[in-house]
Structure 1
Amino acid sequence: MTPEQFIQYLMSFLGGGFAVAVGNWVNSSVGIRRQREIDHLKGQLQSLYGPLSFFAQQNEKLFALCGAFSDAYTREIVQKNWSQDEKTRASVRADAETTIQLSNQYVVRVVENNGRIMEILEKGWHLS
């Protein structure tokens, strides 16, 4: 038997198994890579984009509430011609101050949320 024939027989014998092994290796490496991508995307959603979305949506709703309070304040307090009676004026002033304080509390919450957003961005910069 010549060396060429020996190599041909050896390759015939090993060829099928070798092809299957290479195919399994390729399939396994593709699966591992996909799993890493999935894990990375899960990390992005759980640690970065999910929390960012939560705080951004909350800020949006808080700003909408502030706008509604501002509109109500203008409509119910500023645009009305109130009596010159001191008791009435004191009551209106107290209502106005309560409305402004509540609206300011919403803005304080927005500022706190923005601080949390910055923390999330600083901690999760590697996920973007």
Structure 2
Amino acid sequence: MFLRKNMEHRESVENRSYSYIHGWYSSLGATAEEAFVKVRGYVVQVITLASQGDVEGIESFERLGEATKWKIAFHHQNRPILAVVDIFKKAPLDAFVGETAGRSMAALQKTALALFPTNLGILEFGG
């Protein structure tokens, strides 16, 4: 779902729907309001998984894009018990931990956290 820059009338097509202000994938609902409720529900699901430290659950959640779900998870994790670093795409995280094999994002997050030095804040570590 997104806010349209161009407010000119645009016809909805097979997989994308438009209102005067918003655009969204048609699979999310017939109206912008329906799409918003569905996306908000997806965000809440990722927040719940993150607050529980369930990186495998976040990994398997397919309703949001990779970077989007990991960024949401990072910001809503249980800070005293870190589960996610602030690297949200697999390739950069793979390079960071020095992996060459195709490990899951959840496994890479765990490996990165194992490298976390105690003298840094979590934002400094991933940045």
Which TM-score band applies after superposition, normalised by the shorter structure? under 0.3
Structure with the bigger percentage of strand:
2
Q: TM (normalized to structure 2)?
A: 0.24
- Flag the structure with more relative contact order, 1 or 2, with Cα contacts below 8 A and sequence separation at least 6: 1
Q: TM (normalized to structure 1)?
A: 0.23
Structure with the bigger percentage of helix:
1
